[in-house]
Amino acid sequence: MEANKQRKILIAPNAFKGTIEADVAAAIIAQAWKEKFPKDELMLLPIADGGDGTCWLLGKALQLKQVHHWTVDAIGRAIHGFYFWDEENHAAYLDVSTVSGIKYLASEHLNPWVASTFGTGELIQHAIKRGAVTIFLGLGGSASVDLGLGILGGLGFQFLDEKGRVLTFFTDSFMQKIAFIQAPIPKPTIRFELLCDVDNTFFGPNGAIPVFGLQKGLSKTDFELYEKKIKNAISLLEHKSKTSIADQASFGAAGGVAYGLSHFFNVRIHKGAKYFFQLTGLEEKIKNSDIIITGEGRYDKQSVAGKGSFELLQIAKKHKKTCMLITSGNNGKGEGFSEILRLPALDFSVSDFQNQAKKNLFQAVRHNSFD
């Protein structure tokens, strides 16, 4: 199609991790594209694959109402929380990272012995009081490795020491002292739809502790003890729920949230990209577009394991659509992208690297050779 004729352009980038959020990236790409091709019709649908902010983007894409509620972050500090509310389906959408995210913690505050998902549980409890029966929960970007015990705490479960005293969250002794669990009566009747972008089990060499523990502040010398305490907590969950659940793929996401919740609730785990596409009707939007523009910070071997840009490309190829990728690095060749716009390497030591990343993205799109 000639550049001087109006084309339908679908702009659907993933987040450029650590530099540009997906919705901001979509806006920058749109601005740059419109300057070069002013006649084109643009449609923006920033995408996510289960990582940090997935349910934020879902709520925006589905045009749901945002409900605000004060709660606490991963180490117990007050934070302004929210979730998206679907009145028709009595469903709430939120991410573990909405209030319990690692993004809010300075390096000196990272400590899985202390960090908890309790604030996320309080948000879910608020949604339940509003009438929620389904909770869509994105698992990316968590600060804790707590099996979702914090979420259970926010839903009314209590954790006791050997003397029957209620344990307080956000203390470094919490995980070490759990001896009994008390379930609320009645227990909330909700189901969880969990979205994630990893398939790690909780235990094992690729489990939550060895793979994600260090970045969340757990020292290698504590790995063995922490795993021992987690196994104790699982035994207590099994005893209280009278059910035994085997470790499985994606139980390592968000510090084991799915593992803990599965003992008491109906839990389904979805690979984030495909589920996100299904809920937002992305395939239909691709069918109705002439050109699709996607992107992510660095397209690599993890991308082809189910990340958003790769999964979007498969749909574009199915419908024989032109699909462009914007990324850094040298990967992506031979995957089937019509064009790859390469972003220059960033100097992360400078204070304004995020602003530079935005400028680089704009320039890459503005000066692309596509017509």
Tell me: do 149 and 199 sit in the same domain: yes
Domain of 118: which CATH number? 3.90.1510.10
C-alpha span between 163 and 147 (Å, rounded): 23
Tell me: do 258 and 324 sit in the same domain: no
Position 205 in a domain: yes
- pLDDT digits 0-9 by tens, 284-337: 999 999 999 999 988 877 777 667 899 999 999 999 999 999 999 888 888 889
* Burial letters 110-143, b for 16+ CB under 10 A, else e: bbbbbbbbbbbbbbbbbbbeeebebbbbbbbbbb
- At residue 371, the pLDDT reads 65
Domain of 16: which CATH number? 3.40.50.10350
Tell me: do 153 and 60 sit in the same domain: yes
Please tell me the chain's helix, strand, coil percentages from 3-state DSSP, rounded to the nearest 5.
35, 20, 40
Residues 204, 147 contacting (CB under 8 angstroms): no
Position 204 in a domain: yes
- Last-in-domain residue among 215, 240, 273: 273
- Last-in-domain residue among 273, 301, 331: 273
Tell me: do 269 and 292 sit in the same domain: no
Tell me: do 37 and 61 sit in the same domain: no
* SS3 of residue 145 by DSSP: coil
- At residue 5, the pLDDT reads 75
Tell me: do 291 and 212 sit in the same domain: no
Grouped pLDDT means (10 residues each) for the chain, 371 residues: 75 91 96 95 95 94 97 98 98 98 96 98 98 97 97 98 97 97 96 94 97 96 97 98 97 98 97 92 97 91 76 95 92 87 88 92 86 65
Residues spanned by the domain of 257: 54-273
DSSP per-residue string spanning 177-238: H--EEE--SSPP--EEEEEES----SSSTTSHHHHHTGGGT--GGGHHHHHHHHHHHHHHHH
- pLDDT digits 0-9 by tens, 117-159: 999 999 999 999 999 999 999 999 999 999 999 999 999 999 9
- Last-in-domain residue among 215, 247, 273: 273
C-alpha span between 164 and 180 (Å, rounded): 7
Position 250 in a domain: yes
Position 119 in a domain: yes
The total of structural domains in the chain comes to 2
Tell me: do 328 and 216 sit in the same domain: no
Tell me: do 171 and 264 sit in the same domain: yes
Position 2 in a domain: no
Tell me: do 22 and 70 sit in the same domain: no
- At residue 1, the pLDDT reads 42
Tell me: do 100 and 150 sit in the same domain: yes
Position 371 in a domain: no
Position 1 in a domain: no
* Predicted TM-score of the model (pTM): 0.92
Tell me: do 242 and 354 sit in the same domain: no
Tell me: do 153 and 40 sit in the same domain: no
Burial of 245 (0-12, 13-18, 19+ CB in 10 A): middle
Position 32 in a domain: yes
